Homo-oligomer: A and B are copies of this chain.
């Protein structure tokens, strides 16, 4: 079995695919939470998103986010740690990710209860 799941190269990242991925409220919430986590410069693992959907449903959305080039998955033991592909996205589509995240932040209230579950602050070793 593949140790590390498949990721597209920077050049393989496509605009319509990225926009389609971001148009789902659950995936938008995942990206939003990953963006919050960027400021703490640590990663999140699947379980940290359990408030958003069931396990298998999350795995489905994670795969979509990975395959479209929005995020990166690192396997460590039984955990999968994830972070945004900030550099690649900014290189391919300058300003896009920030515009989306800022827009999501503005609308956090109206974007479901999905955005109210603050997950920042995991890892309390």
A: residues with CB less than 8 A from B are 14-17, 19-20, 22-25, 28, 92-96, 98-100, 102-104, 106-107, 110-111
Contact = CB atoms under 8 A, between A and B. Distances in A.
B23 A19 contact: yes
Shortest 4 CB-CB contacts between residues of A and residues of B = A20-B23, A19-B23, A93-B103, A95-B99
A111 B23 CA distance: 19
Q: Which of A16, A95, A106 has the most CB of B within 10 A?
A: A16
Contact of A19 (B14, B19, B93, B98): B19
A82 to B, nearest CB: 20
Contacts of A14: 107, 110
A102 B111 contact: no
A96 B94 contact: no
A93 B22 CA distance: 14
Contacts of A104: 15
Nearest to A95: B99
